[in-house]
Amino acid sequence: MKKAVQLFPSGISIIDSAWGGLYRGGTYLLVGERKTGKTLLSIQFAVETAKQKEVCLFFTNTRPKDLMIQAASIDVDLEYYMNQNFIIVVRVAPPPEPSQFGNRDDYLGEYLSDIITVVNQYKPSRLVFDEITPYVEFEDPAKLREIFSNTFEQIEDLGVTSLLSIREPASASTQMIFNILNTYATGVIQLYKNSDVNGSTKSGIIDIQPNIGHTEGRFKAHYSIEPYKGIITDFKTPKIKETDKFHEKIGDYIPLSDIKTSGEEIIIPNFYSLDDFKLILNNQIAMYKTTGQVFTLVSFKLTNKENRNSSLTISQLKNVIRISSEKKDKICQVDDQICVLLIKEDPKSISDFINKIKLNLPTDEANERELMASDVFFYYLKVSDSVENADQMLAKIHFDVKDSVNSLSS
């Protein structure tokens, strides 16, 4: 039976302050280079679970004794929680070298599938895999996508929250692996290290980015690794501004002008800068070349103001497209044009997407909705063997409204 979606304390201060915790049944990626503190953060996550009298499965490819020593460095008696069966440490053998097996992907697939067996045995509420990188280095991206999604969707359905540690991508192939995992992640916790003149790493930047939910947005803060304390951050919870001004009150409501928000830029999930969008698009094209996985690029353009039949603005259209898209679709705005990378490419999905946009246009009047729809023009392009890169594909959808025959009112 699925547990209700709810937030719980994670033991990671910036997440608990900014987001109020993590979602039960979510899957989160913890990304960083070596020596950034990923293992210490994973231990803090596991200990917070134990403090709430819940079970955390801790998969690791290091010796349990080494894990205990790391925990002791931040004043955590890991053995105590292990003896109480609140933290179950499972040591995972390193995967074999490719030369040892005819099909390495099949072997790695068994590693991931075995996680479900262990989860069913211990029935945890949370899971840590520190680190999962060697076990997701599939040669076939399509097989990784299939096995990873099947494994962690089953785990999510059991109400288990997963924290998966992964190395910072350092090549095109590892970036593609990260992109596949990120497609199914609820959010990403990124650690960027700072090194002193001696090469010691005791501080850096922590960046939390939501993919699904966590509407508070993206936040960054400085972090440091403190002896006997663990990883701490300088993140300050946004506070409501106190004012002596008189405001007309409506019950217990307060005006938005009195609420002080964070100075950090809040990133809207699904929306990307042009450079990031091109990177994602290039990865999708590479995946198509490798696996044959088809996708569609859809472009929307708003009629020039002087020729517009309605009061629709580009900001309104942007919001309409955002609420009409799927959580895995990728969106980019350039001037008066909005591009959407649709993961689903079948004609029905595209038709449903267009229908949602028309229904979500900001008016309740049928006539006004038709006028708004007549001001929005669209063009779509399915990836093919002739497409080499993102720039080439984007160039094909740069069109003039006056030359287009497709509008939402058609």
Q: What is the mean pLDDT of residues 39-59?
A: 96
Q: Does position 199 have pLDDT exceeding 60, yes or no?
A: no
pLDDT tens digits for range 78-103: 999 999 999 999 999 888 776 666 67
Q: What is the mean pLDDT of residues 189-211?
A: 80
What is the CATH T-level fold of the domain 7-233, as seen in this structure? Rossmann fold (3.40.50)
pLDDT band, very low/low/confident/very high, at 195 (cuts 50, 70, 90): low
Residues pairing with 192 in the sheet: 205
The neighbour count for residue 383, using CB atoms within 10 Å, is 20
Residue 390 is inside which H or E element, if any? helix 390-395
Residues pairing with 87 in the sheet: 56
Look up residue 180 and give its two tokens.
């596949």
Q: Which of 97-111, 157-171, 235-249, 337-351 has the highest mean pLDDT?
A: 157-171
The neighbour count for residue 357, using CB atoms within 10 Å, is 22
Cα angle for residues 214, 218, 224 (degrees, 5° grid): 115
d(C-alpha 158, C-alpha 353), whole Å = 30
pLDDT band, very low/low/confident/very high, at 21 (cuts 50, 70, 90): very high
What are the residues whose beta carbons fall under 8 Å from the beta carbon of 378, sequence distance 6 or more?
A: 298, 299, 300, 301, 354, 404, 406, 407, 408
Q: Does position 119 have pLDDT exceeding 70, yes or no?
A: yes
Q: Which of 140-144, 225-229, 262-266 has the highest mean pLDDT?
A: 140-144
Do the Cβ atoms of 191 and 36 come closer than 8 Å? yes
Q: Which residue has the tokens 């990120």?
A: 182
Q: How far from 356 is each of 320, 321, 359, 362, CA to CA, in Å?
A: 9, 9, 5, 12
Query: pLDDT above 70 covers what percent of the chain?
Result: 85
d(C-alpha 195, C-alpha 200), whole Å = 5
pLDDT confidence of residue 201: 58
Q: How far from 85 is each of 102, 131, 337, CA to CA, in Å?
A: 38, 21, 55
Q: What is the mean pLDDT of residues 69-84?
A: 93
Q: Which residue has the tokens 């080494």?
A: 66
Is the pTM for the entire model greater than 0.85? Answer: no
pLDDT tens digits for range 273-330: 888 889 889 988 988 888 888 889 999 999 888 888 888 998 899 999 989 888 788 9
pLDDT band, very low/low/confident/very high, at 73 (cuts 50, 70, 90): very high
What are the residues whose beta carbons fall under 8 Å from the beta carbon of 114, sequence distance 6 or more?
A: none
d(C-alpha 363, C-alpha 368), whole Å = 7
pLDDT tens digits for range 347-390: 888 888 899 999 999 988 888 889 999 999 988 889 999 999 99
The larger pLDDT score, comparing residue 241 to residue 210, is at 210
Cα angle for residues 302, 305, 306 (degrees, 5° grid): 130
Question: In terms of Cα–Cα distance, which of 219, 229, 199 is closest to 35?
Answer: 199
Question: In terms of Cα–Cα distance, which of 185, 125, 114 is closest to 158?
Answer: 125
Residues pairing with 31 in the sheet: 166, 190
Domain 274-403 = CATH 3.30.70.2880: yes
pLDDT confidence of residue 271: 82
Query: pLDDT above 90 covers what percent of the chain?
Result: 50
Q: Among positive and negative, which fits the CA dihedral 191, 197, 199, 200?
A: negative
Phi, psi of 219 (to 5 degrees): -140, 150
Domain ranges of the chain: 7-233, 274-403
Q: What is the mean pLDDT of residues 202-223?
A: 91
Residue 142 is inside which H or E element, if any? helix 141-157
